[in-house]
Amino acid sequence: MAYFQFQITKVMARKRLVVLVVSVLLPIYSQAFDSKATGFRAAVVKVDITPEGHQMLLGYGARKSTGVNDRIYHRIVVMDDGKTQFVLVSSDICVMSPAEYDRVAARLKKQLGIDPVNFWWNLTHTHSAPELGPPGLPALFMANRYEHHFDSDYAEVTEKKLIDGIAEARQKLVLARLGVGWGLSQANINRRAKDIDGKAYLGMDPDGAVDRRIGVLRLDKEDGSPLALLANYAIHGTVLSGENLLISGDAPGVVAEYVEQKLGVPMLFINGAAGNIAPIYSGYPNPKAGRMNQFRVLLGEKILAANKSISATTNDISLKTASLIVETPRKPELGWIDELKDYTRTTKAGVNMVKLPVRFLQINDDIAIWSAPLELFCEISNEIRDRSPFPYTFYFGYGNGWLGYLLTEEEIKHGGYEVTVSPFTPVAAQHLTDSVVNHLQGKK
């Protein structure tokens, strides 16, 4: 009798253990299942990258900062549809070498398992931010500007903050919704002034090509409260001139901070095809002279209006990433930078080519975003947007590095500063346009 009572006790103990295990694990599995079933999650992190000491500033001639006007940041968004996890970063930096992007992308792949095709690092293009990493292609065009060594300590700190920020965002993913819309701002102007001889100079051309559309993506939490905003607008970060020695996010930074104050969440300012587009106030020695705070109204209020116009959001989100290499001849007799050897090749016929990486993000069936490491002229992105089958087509500029200005064939004829810092020939615009449009239209 004692033996059978012992066996019954063992069976009951096993049953209690099974019930305990199920009661503990079932909620965990249910949460995982619900997360995948619901699909879309997102998170945002804002990280201060303002240096403590003086730094060489990038933009204009070589010069060292003497202080800080406004702080600069990494702003990081992670989106996850259950299959694809996409990382978008907007940093208050002017430009960087594609080799700098490659180094950070490799670290992210090793440490966090993020495929580079799903990691986009876009820069706001402020001309009053510190240098970040080795100069890359600019040293080819402006060797005298880079007689000093870059600050490797600042680069390491900034890179670590980026990687840590991405890791933090991945831990903060919450169920989310996404909405999209358009806005309009006249805060910019074509900067390719032309004299009677047809030659182009840095200035203002009220009749020149421009892109004044604002592309807006809004991320909300599942309950409808705001999570983050992304605003895509073409404008040079040149309200402040080379006389300014204070670190600043320039107009993009001022606008982002203003929108964040109004909404209570971070805003990623994503620059567009700003190669030939300046702010309407440009080249001033200090923020007051440049009316920099007026951009809170000129652009910030327009972004807020565009945000309000988004009447619907959805949690039914599909993210698809892709990439391609556009090959186009580089200028004859133009040299190259050793660290960028992966971005060029020589054909059997002896023609030196630029290997231009282009990234794509498709969100559902109506949003297409493409990005390249270029200072692109707006006519090119305008044409691609007009020919795209997607109703919302955005160009995210200064993405994953800088390989120079890419002008239209017509604008190259007028010369000017941009032509001198471009590695491309007149056929490059057509090569890029055809490649991107074919991809967006689903053509091989």
Q: For residues 423 and 414, give the distance between their C-alpha atoms in angstroms, rounded to a whole number.
A: 16
CB 368 within 8 A of CB 440: yes
Q: For residues 141 and 151, give the distance between their C-alpha atoms in angstroms, rounded to a whole number.
A: 21
CB 226 within 8 A of CB 265: yes
CB 276 within 8 A of CB 418: yes
Q: For residues 382 and 209, give the distance between their C-alpha atoms in angstroms, rounded to a whole number.
A: 9
Supply angle C-alpha 223, 226, 228, rounded to 5: 135
CB 295 within 8 A of CB 279: yes
24's enclosing H/E stretch is helix 2-38
236 is in an annotated binding site: yes
φ, ψ for residue 226, nearest 5 deg:
-70, 145
CB 183 within 8 A of CB 214: yes
Burial of 348 (0-12, 13-18, 19+ CB in 10 A): exposed
Q: For residues 228 and 169, give the distance between their C-alpha atoms in angstroms, rounded to a whole number.
A: 12
Q: For residues 267 and 256, give the distance between their C-alpha atoms in angstroms, rounded to a whole number.
A: 6
Q: Measure CA 439 to chain center.
A: 20
CA nearest neighbour of 165 among 126, 122, 112, 113: 112
Q: For residues 170 and 176, give the distance between their C-alpha atoms in angstroms, rounded to a whole number.
A: 13
CB 165 within 8 A of CB 437: no
Q: Which residues are annotated as a binding site?
A: 125, 236
Q: Which residues are annotated as a binding site for Zn(2+)?
A: 125, 236
